[in-house]
Amino acid sequence: MNPATLREIQMKVEALEKEIALLRSALEAIPEPFFILDPKGFFLRSNSEGIALLDYPWEQLQRMNLIDVISLEDLSLMREGLGRMEEEKPLRLTLHLVTRLGERILVESIGIAKGNFIFLTLRDLRERVEVEQRWEKTKRELTERIHERDQYARELQALKDLYKERVKEIERMREEALLLSYTDDLTGIYNHRFFIQQLTLEVERQKRYSQPLSLLMIDIDHFKYYNDTNGHLAGDQVLKAIAILIQHGVRQTDIVARYGGEEFAAILINARKEMAFEIAERIRRSVSETCFPNEKAQPGGDLTVSIGVATFSPPLLTLTDLIREADNALYRAKKKGRNRVEG
């Protein structure tokens, strides 16, 4: 062999070595696992990322086929993909690889056939799967938190509603208790305590604004005789009935109370003496015209009331003066024969 021929061979070897080094550099420059396969799927070249992914020594891997590292359930899918690549159709599949130690790795396979070679890139989807799993877990936890929050909100609203109901119930009970404290147990109208409180207020209001104010003191005639003759139960029924008649005889703005025993009182707000006499006479007549059980046995053959009328004006200056004046008028009505109005 002459020196010229030796030199040419040496130059060809150097050029081939450079080409191989360039190919290796190009393969290593690819950041993802990359393989070059023959048309049957056998490994011809791989970068270090590919070797690391499959965890096989290159000496062993170059004797293997791509089918050898595909999971059993994805084999038919990969065979179909290799068949399409033989028709120069691109490959894009998501499947599982099995490493040398048996670890299953989900990858996206992107391949294309050029000439007598198949170029295959594998994208490791483990990180994406982990992210998706973490996201799914986060979504589940978030859904649970939302459910817990909604449940808490419902329970809180239920407690609020219950609290409101209890507050209303307490207010209702307080109002009922207050009403009971101001109500006569037998007749259901206001009692003596409430009568004094309201009359005190109305007297103060009359002094301040000079509005007319009158008072009726009403007593059932010969009530003791009726009670002794007919019994206390019958007497109680009469008290209830007369309380109703008095309420019907006054105006809505007036206040009717049981003063004590068989005696009633009516505060006539914004009523002058003439109107007070009209109201008193209406009550007297209503009671007289009402038929009560066994009233024929009463003295005079009728169950009646006597009424005293007083109007707040000089010389009356106090609540006591007003009550005393109405009592004196009631006494005069009794003295003059009962069943009458006096003022």
Q: Write out the catalytic residue numbers.
A: 262
118: which strand partners? 37, 113
- Strands 305-311, 341-342: parallel, antiparallel or unpaired by DSSP? parallel
111: which strand partners? 91, 120
First and final CA of the chain: distance in angstroms? 163
Strand segments (E) across 177-220: 213-220
Residue type, 242: I
* CB-based contact 199:319 (threshold 8 Å): yes
* Residue 108 structure tokens: 């996206």
HSE on the CB side for 60, CA within 13 Å? 9
Closest of 110, 92, 91 to residue 50, by C-alpha: 110
